[in-house]
Amino acid sequence: MDLLLCVDDYSITIMLSKMVLTRTAYAKEIVTAHNGEEALEYLDHLIASSATVKPSLIFLDLNMPVMGGWEFLDAFAEPKYRDVFPDCKVIVLSSTIDPEDIEKSKSYAMVLDFMPKPISKDLLEAVSQKKLRP
């Protein structure tokens, strides 16, 4: 994978995620954002600059200040983003596995799965298996 976007407000989670992602060589480039608004600003920058390298996967926390994961997903579902990033999938990561959140995440076509934090080698292997399926 060329580019991965990791969106989480907790610096330690970002640091640990980058460590696992780097150690497993899961992505060539890892970009981070501390909330949904920062993530959308990054995506807007890619759109404005006509970037050729775009994220193919986003790891998204739900509970963040400024703009949380649900608000990000609502915005990312708009044509402005889906037309430019049609193949980008989202893995929702949460420290609590609430059945209502899991069900809600299924209403977003770009959400590949809802998984527990933290990112681990096993989680990455599971994501790879999901992405390989048609």
Cα three-residue angle 119-124-130, rounded to 5 degrees: 130
In this predicted structure, what is the pLDDT of residue 130?
Answer: 79
Q: Is the peptide bond before 55 cis (omega within 30 degrees of 0)?
A: no
Q: Give 59's strand partners.
A: 6, 91
Mapped to the 3 state alphabet, what secondary structure does 39-69 carry?
A: HHHHHHHHHHCCCCCCCCEEEEECCCCCCCH
In this predicted structure, what is the pLDDT of residue 83?
Answer: 96
In this predicted structure, what is the pLDDT of residue 57?
Answer: 95
pLDDT tens digit at each of 134 positions of the chain: 789 999 999 999 999 999 999 999 999 999 999 999 999 999 999 999 999 999 999 999 999 999 999 999 999 999 999 999 999 999 999 887 789 999 999 999 999 999 988 898 998 998 888 765 54
How far apart are the C-alpha atoms of 56 and 54, rounded to whole Å? 6
In this predicted structure, what is the pLDDT of residue 118?
Answer: 87
Sheet of 111-116, strand order? 29-33, 3-7, 57-61, 89-94, 111-116
How far apart are the C-alpha atoms of 94 and 116, rounded to whole Å? 5
Residues 101, 77, 38, 33: is their CA dihedral positive or negative? positive
In this predicted structure, what is the pLDDT of residue 132?
Answer: 55
Tokens of 133: 């399926």
pTM: 0.93
